[in-house]
Chain A
């Protein structure tokens, strides 16, 4: 025990810091926004960079292989709320912080000032995301979902007067949809509590197989309800309709940060299907593919097809990118649904690349629209500045997202196809993954040639008006703003390229993470075996002694 403590960050408190740091930063920024608004951007960026550093350190710590638990209230595991850090959680933390840094840097180029309290909401969003990735308690997961959703409601509405109408419309849909999802989440969680008497994920993993046959149908229903809720967040086929509208109307840095939001759903599905609802955990489906294994791959394949059609049919670049996000969620859920160690490793590898590139896409779209007079309609129009820098960024992002060599998107899809070899759906997986990649490539090639090569104003076509939500690129854009925009896009694309260059180490890490997920024992043992730290100052003894003293006084008065 002492050896793990001495080697872990901040005497073992490092695990809770990714939640505490954004919380403190967000609260501080709320105060600063009123009094010293000049400092807000710098403080926010510094905190997010610190978060990235912290996440990388935690990933290095988790990379050594042992799962570490943190008892929040210092109560033994099933009774109190526990946090747990394994390779998957650490990977998600790094990914969130990296996307957060990119989005925030871009926001400093003017978008952050288009509404109130952007930075505080941004930090609270990071807090909710980190908490959801770290928690080992199902109800706590619900609470962190609500934290990140509450922040995302605010961020979605962020922006200036033009486009407010569209944002409000998207917000009403988004909030109502997510609140209904929360209701389902609570029903599922309380049903599981009623059946097993516990909400700790590790404890649930132990207790669920012990349920009698008479309760297994209820447990099955609860598991499916949970998966529905997570599928809402992950944008699986029948439940993805909120996504294109929401991502299409949000301000660019917010949309970039929302690229992580769908991954929370994927993460939650991954966590519960590998830890709690493993094949055979519920008595009625013993021996079958588990709760998710039967329907998840099929729905994910259908999602892929729809995403491909969506990209081909898009009339605006924003819409196209939103369907790219749906497509990447479909690929990920397909890999998770197949559920072998190889496909999980491929999914995690693909997730790193696709999240970073999706975030970069939203920023690039915003720049392209700004250069085209505030419109991202896929129509020929002269760019106000040269096409070269944006064209190169567009090309790199297109190659990375379509899964063409030499970038990491290709490795991810290749790993997935290779790992899908032994599964029953292999023909469909190969056909539809390759087919959707082709459709996405065609859609992007067409969009790129329209945007960059078909210059000039064609006769008979009115110049597009500035669409709501975009700013028009003008000479008034200061050099500092342009620098922030460029730095953000370059940083995210560099991370994407880095994924391809460091494909070996990254895929070694994701393979180890997948192996750790399927070998559930270490997670369960770490969470349930974590011992509370003995109190340095025993409050109860103090109370007892005071009580005794009072009684003595009473007796002496008598």
Chain B
């Protein structure tokens, strides 16, 4: 499963970077979205992947990471998701306005010569 996750994160990050480098505003927005997905999964993985374990300590259960998932990366991911979501919205608004104002969806506001 770890290999699958690693491949998935790598693919997402690779696609994100490729889209980002296309220098079109909409592609850049999509690329950044994919990149943040990759980053969020990466943060999640950094808390060690564990199947069927709750991040909360049950009554009577030992409060060690051997029997529980690490709750902190999950909290970090939540924060990161909220921030990246808001920032993507801001970027979309700016990109829409920029393409309306300049008549081009290139990030430089004009077609490359």
Give the interface of A toward B (CB within 8 A).
139, 143, 146, 150, 153, 157, 164-165, 168-169, 171-173, 175-176, 179-180, 182-183, 186-187, 189-191, 193-194, 199
Question: Chain A residues with Cβ under 8 A from B107's Cβ?
Answer: 172-173, 176
Contact present for B98 and A176 (CB under 8 Å): no
Contact present for A164 and B39 (CB under 8 Å): no
| Bound: A167/B49 CA distance, A | 44
| Bound: A191/B88 CA distance, A | 24
Q: Which of A169, A172, A179, A190 contacts B46 (CB 8 A)?
A: A190
Instruction: Kindly supply a per-residue 1/0 record for chain B positions 92-107, scoring 1 wherever the CB is within 8 Å of any chain A CB and 0 otherwise.
Output: 0011011001100001
Q: Which of B46, B83, B94 contacts A168 (CB 8 A)?
A: B94
Question: Chain A residues with Cβ under 8 A from B47's Cβ?
Answer: 193-194
Question: Chain A residues with Cβ under 8 A from B42's Cβ?
Answer: 186-187, 190
Shortest Cβ distance from A79 into B: residue: B72
Contact present for A179 and B80 (CB under 8 Å): no
A201 CB to closest chain B CB (Å) equals: 16
Q: Which of A150, A172, A191 contacts B86 (CB 8 A)?
A: A150
Question: Chain B residues with Cβ under 8 A from A146's Cβ?
Answer: 83, 87
CB neighbors of A among B5-57 (8 A): 20, 25, 28, 32, 35-36, 38-39, 42-43, 45-48
Contact present for A191 and B91 (CB under 8 Å): no
Centre residue among B25, B90, B102 by max chain A CB count within 10 A: B90
- Please name 4 further chain A to chain B contacts, defined as beta carbons within 8 Å, in addition to the given A150-B90, A165-B101, A179-B84, sorted by A numbering: A139-B79, A146-B87, A169-B102, A190-B39
Give the interface of B toward A (CB within 8 A).
20, 25, 28, 32, 35-36, 38-39, 42-43, 45-48, 72-73, 76, 79-80, 83-84, 86-88, 90-91, 94-95, 97-98, 101-102, 107-109
Contact present for B91 and A179 (CB under 8 Å): yes
B51 CB to closest chain A CB (Å) equals: 18
| Bound: A146/B84 CA distance, A | 9
Question: Chain B residues with Cβ under 8 A from A183's Cβ?
Answer: 32, 35-36, 38-39
Shortest Cβ distance from A198 into B: residue: B72
Q: Which of B35, B76, B90 contacts A180 (CB 8 A)?
A: B35
Contact present for B28 and A165 (CB under 8 Å): no
Q: Known: A180-B35, A194-B46. Is A186-B80 also a contact (CB below 8 A)? A: yes
| Bound: A191/B39 CA distance, A | 11
B98 CB to closest chain A CB (Å) equals: 4
Q: Which of A164, A173, A194 contacts B101 (CB 8 A)?
A: A164
Contact present for B83 and A187 (CB under 8 Å): no
Question: Chain B residues with Cβ under 8 A from A172's Cβ?
Answer: 25, 28, 91, 94-95, 98, 107, 109
A450 CB to closest chain B CB (Å) equals: 30
Question: Chain A residues with Cβ under 8 A from B94's Cβ?
Answer: 153, 157, 168, 171-172, 175
| Bound: A231/B85 CA distance, A | 25
Q: Known: A157-B94, A175-B94, A180-B35. Is A168-B43 also a contact (CB below 8 A)? A: no
